[in-house]
Structure 1
Amino acid sequence: MAQSRRIVVLGSLNTDLVTVTSRIPLAGETFTAISFSTGPGGKGQNQAVGCARAATNAESGEAPIQVAMLGATGTSEHDQLSDALHATLKAEGIDASGIERIPHISSGTATILVEEQTGQNRILVVPGANGKVNASFLQKPIFKSKLWGDSKNPKASLLVLQLEIPLETVVEAISQAKSHGIPVLLNPAPAISNIPRETLRDVDHLIVNETEAQILLSNHDELVGLETTTKDWLHQVFLSFAKIGVKNLVVTLGEKGACYTSSSDQGYDLVSAIKVPAEDIVDTTAAGDTFVGVYAVEVVKSQGKELNLRKAIEQACKASALTVQKAGAIQSIPYGRDY
Structure 2
Amino acid sequence: MSQILVVGSSNTDMVVKTRKLPAPGETVLGGTFLMNPGGKGANQAVGAARLGGQVTFVAKVGNDIFGQQAVSGFQQEGINTVYILTDGEHPSGVALINVDDAGENCITVAPGSNAHLQPSDTDTAFQETPTDSLVLLQLEIPLPTVEHVVQQAAVRNLRVILNPAPAQKLPVDLFPNLFLITPNETEAELLTGIHVTDLATAEQAAQKLHEMGVPNVVITLGSKGAYLHSGTSGQLITSPVVKAVDSTAAGDCFNGALTVALAEGKSLPDAVAFGCKAASISVTRMGAQASMPKRSELA
1:273 is aligned, of 239, 252, 276, to 239
- Post-superposition CA distance 1:80-132 (Å, at most 9, x none): 211111111011111111110011321000012334x4544332210000000
Tell me: CA distance 1:147–1:43, structure 2 relative to 1, closer, same or farther (3 Å). same
- Post-superposition CA distance 1:274-315 (Å, at most 9, x none): 111x3xx3321121111101110111111xxxx511111111
Match of 1:173 in 2: 149
Contact preservation (8 Å) 1:206, 1:246: yes
How much has 1:270 moved relative to structure 2? 1.0
- Post-superposition CA distance 1:195-252 (Å, at most 9, x none): 122211100011111111001113xxxx3xxx52324312311221111121111111
Match of 1:321 in 2: 280
Paired-residue identity, %? 37
* SS at 1:95 equivalent: coil
Contact preservation (8 Å) 1:255, 1:275: yes
Tell me: CA distance 1:22–1:259, structure 2 relative to 1, closer, same or farther (3 Å). closer
How much has 1:156 moved relative to structure 2? 6.1
- Post-superposition CA distance 1:119-166 (Å, at most 9, x none): 443322100000000223134xxxx2x3232xxx63461111000000
- RMSD across aligned C-alpha pairs, in angstroms? 2.2
* SS at 1:89 equivalent: helix
Match of 1:131 in 2: 115
1:106-121 map, 5 Å:
106-115=91-100, 117-121=101-105
1:157-236 map, 5 Å:
157-193=133-169, 195-218=170-193, 223=194, 228-236=196-204
Structure ID, larger Rg: 1
Match of 2:296 in 1: none
Tell me: CA distance 1:103–1:228, structure 2 relative to 1, closer, same or farther (3 Å). same
1:244 correspondence with 2:212: yes
Tell me: CA distance 1:37–1:244, structure 2 relative to 1, closer, same or farther (3 Å). same
Matches of 1:30 and 1:308, distance apart in 2: 48
Tell me: CA distance 1:104–1:271, structure 2 relative to 1, closer, same or farther (3 Å). same
Matches of 2:185 and 2:23, distance apart in 1: 30
1:59-138 map, 5 Å:
65-75=53-63, 79-115=64-100, 117-138=101-122
Query: Number of residue pairs matched?
Result: 291
Match of 1:59 in 2: none
Tell me: CA distance 1:114–1:269, structure 2 relative to 1, closer, same or farther (3 Å). closer
Q: For residue 126 of structure 2, what is the amino acid of its counterpart?
A: L
Provide TM-score, normalisation by structure 2. Answer: 0.90
- Post-superposition CA distance 1:18-42 (Å, at most 9, x none): 1234563875x87854321100111
* SS at 1:283 equivalent: coil
Matches of 1:22 and 1:160, distance apart in 2: 35
Matches of 1:217 and 1:30, distance apart in 2: 37
Matches of 1:31 and 1:181, distance apart in 2: 50
- Post-superposition CA distance 1:156-207 (Å, at most 9, x none): 61111000000010011101110011111100101112x1222111000111
Tell me: CA distance 1:214–1:172, structure 2 relative to 1, closer, same or farther (3 Å). same
Matches of 2:196 and 2:172, distance apart in 1: 22
Matches of 1:324 and 1:330, distance apart in 2: 11
* SS at 2:44 equivalent: helix
Matches of 1:256 and 1:233, distance apart in 2: 14
